Chain A
Amino acid sequence: MAEPRMRNITYAQAVRTAIREEMKADETVILFGEDVGQYGGVYGATTGLQREFGSERVRDTPISEMAIGGMAVGAALAGFRPIAEIMYCDFLAQASDAIVNNAAKWRYMSGGQVCLPLVVRSPAGGGAGYAAQHSQNLEAWFAHIPGLKVVMPGLPRDARGLLKSAIRDDNPVLFLEHKAHYTYKGEVPAEEEVIPLGVADIKREGKDVTLVAWSKTLTFCLEAVELLAEEGIDVELVDPRTLQPLDIETICASVGKTGHLVVAHEAVTFGGLGAEIVAQVVEHLWGSLRKPPLRLGAPFVPVPYSEPLERFVIPQVQDIVAGVKAHVG
């Protein structure tokens, strides 16, 4: 099979490409949020979409996160496929009644009468110096809610393919982009590619240790595994890509092979998705684990402002290298 023709584009361009392709294909796909129109989004992810699709389908909202979230639920109930942008995932706290109490539950509470095909896109993560209220990783909050799907792509190719699936999905999907990652470049097929939700991807095969990571931490891990390879440690890097539903089978298959599990993420370690992944792996593979699994996450503090403080809190490439070495050593 011929290799697909690739383009080298940024994460922001990948997001924009997915929205653009889906808006062209389906006129019920609409986009609204703060500054997403004329301004193109504070991170440029929606640049040009209002010009292309008009101000009826691409709408700037007031600073009204409760209304943005609730309108997405209503529009989905009435047969549209809204994409709502919440400018920072920290502000999902304000929109979360709509997402958690309404979007996630309306189908269930109605006994399956309705489906809610909506996407809430929101930039998560730190590393950009925005401090405690604009840098959190809140995937664990939402992955905990039955009725929601949670996607957290690390690479541009995955961002594009997964966002297309999220828009086409008949369920509410929280699509968490990484704000310090919008300029990160990667290869994306020139032709259409749709990547299913709930399917992990093995970014690098290896035999010594399974390293699970997503979002921007995944790209730190891509660097870390090369450094570890130079030291003779052969890492298998698994990107779940979707945290709800979680492809635990692929993770378990990998750990079954390596006998070692390290999970790395930006969110605080306590109660993070790493805890869930470790728990499920231990339940499935207790007898074949060669070491207690290791979680590499943030200490239990808010994200600080000053660069040395923030770098200390968020796992960096060298932290991942050191953690994996200590784990297998």
Chain B
Amino acid sequence: MNDIGNFALILCFLFAAYAVVTTVWGARAGRDGMVRSGEHAALLVAVCMTLVLVCLDVLLVRSDFHIEYVSSYSNRELPLFFKFASLWAGQAGSLLLWSWLLTIFNAIVILQNRHRNRELIPYVVAILSATSLFFIILNLFVTNPFQELVAHFEDGSVAAWAPQDGKGLNPLLQHPAMVIHPPILFTGYVGFVVPFAFAMAALITGELGNKWIGLTRRWTIVPWFFLGTGILLGGNWAYQELGWGGYWAWDPVENASLMPWLCGTAFLHSVMIQEKKGMLRVWNMILIILTFSLSIFGTFLTRSGVVSSVHAFAKSSIGGWFLGFLTVMVVGAVFLLVMRLPELRARNEMESMVSREAGFLFNNLLLLGACFAVFWGTIFPIVSEAVQGVKITVGAPFFNKINIPLGMALLLLTGIGPLLAWRKTSGVSLRRNLTWPAVIGVATAGTLFATGTRHPYAIISFALCGFVTATIIAEFWRGTRARQRNTGEILPVALWRLILKNKQRYGGYIIHFGIVVLFVGLTGKAFTKEGQFELGVGETAQIGQFELRLDKIVEADNPNYSSGRLLLGVSKYGKQVTVLAPERRFYKTSQQPTTEVSIRSTITEDLYTVFAAMTPDGRKAVIQVWVNPLVNFVWGGGFMVCMGTIIAMLPDRAMRRRLEKMMDESGSSAAGEGAGARA
């Protein structure tokens, strides 16, 4: 089976190399047949890569411990579900998943564009195939998942061997969110290669009209959606599984996924200025190059071990490869960009500070500022160690100090930006649209202050959330009323059709509202209460309005792990509301203890309990408790962002018409370059 896997990998390598050469050659020589042949090869890569993936999963499910990867990440007692998932538990397997997703994306692009965008496609396929080729080389020669275990004997002879049982999957990863989180996150990382490829193809061919922007925008929102969902699931996993009471720790691996998301968010906004006004054309190229570079950098950061130490990086076998690939890619992209600079001049100029354009400009500045701060904080230990020989780390306070104010400013712009008109906004319309939301914001702040809240950021944040919510509701209200007047539809129908008629705009508003809800949840962090108690059976502890009573300690045993579970009676204001059962498990294969948290989750707050340990005398249980207000708003807001994104991604007739119109325009305006065609 591993031979089949390796053979299929070699086929992937050959087909991918063939695809790169023939598509470029075919395009240069103007021979469509050659390009088609390259496309077919790229489709075959996807087929073979799927076969490779199946081979590894069969080995995992069959518990074939001859294979190093299988014996490292699986064991006999592991439930079947997790045996599948251990495919992406380690470096070799997760890079294989990367390659597979990449080849699948390549195949989708090819199949979608059999008769469209033929001038760009050869180069798009070439870039996608070249990137696949890089990852296939890693899969084949650097971290091959099909490596067999071999024994080296004193006399120099070598033999294959297999242990009786594998080392098992890290218990922390044995969680449903962890099963789906990596593939979703990876889909996000990998997906940014497609808009990048379109952008590069546009630079290579000189087809710099709005066509690549239209195509790229759609292909950016897909990975943006997956990356965001992946980040959210990762946070949810951390919250439920790691047992430290929170969902985000500014860990390098988390930061690695946040950076391309922030940069992609900036791109999705600034691309609108290019669509509407033909401005920021160089800037958008830079953003998409940066977003994809950060995706690769994120994979590199997560997989090379460079975070823990520069020395670990030197030992890691893939670090150098990634750095090399990243350098080649960035240098190549920047070279192409510089070549085309004269053709990328803006067609319009900024006309007013109080315009949609300026709003987007500052939105970009804040998002990239946040991205850069996260980047700097993440790589500072590496840089300081490499440059000064002293490893200096920065912690959560650094990230919070920068990102909380930036987040507030972005929230403010979320409210104001959509109300600004293109070119120039009149003071009258601004006053008309902003007065009521501003009143609501100030009223929110006043109410909070009057009821005893003194946390400055929390007051500002909630006030801004009130303000933005009001602006969004007002937008929906105005749109719906206007539609009702024109069509005579009843309110819900008018609202529904309003959204369906302009999915991109109203999907965007729903995303904005999701972000507001998310911010409400994040702000709840300011009011977290934390405590640690030692309780014997029958004893009670108090935290906030909750009283916890230890009723019983239950012990259990199964082939995978042995466990101890606490039964905690929870009362709120003296009335019993629930029983929580935090658990400690001891996994037998890995000899590792883990905690299973128990949470009482309501809309207003989570009561989060952890069975931390038994006291040394074995009589009392050590329990850690958090009261985390508004955590469900984080998940709810994230869910709304997802829903809004799906609405915005749905095919849109109005959008398609606009796109077609734009393409016609870009064709005609290419002739009158710089004429300043103003829509």
Do A and B come from the same complex?
no
Where the two chains meet, the residues of B that have a C-beta atom closer than 8 Å to any C-beta of A are: none
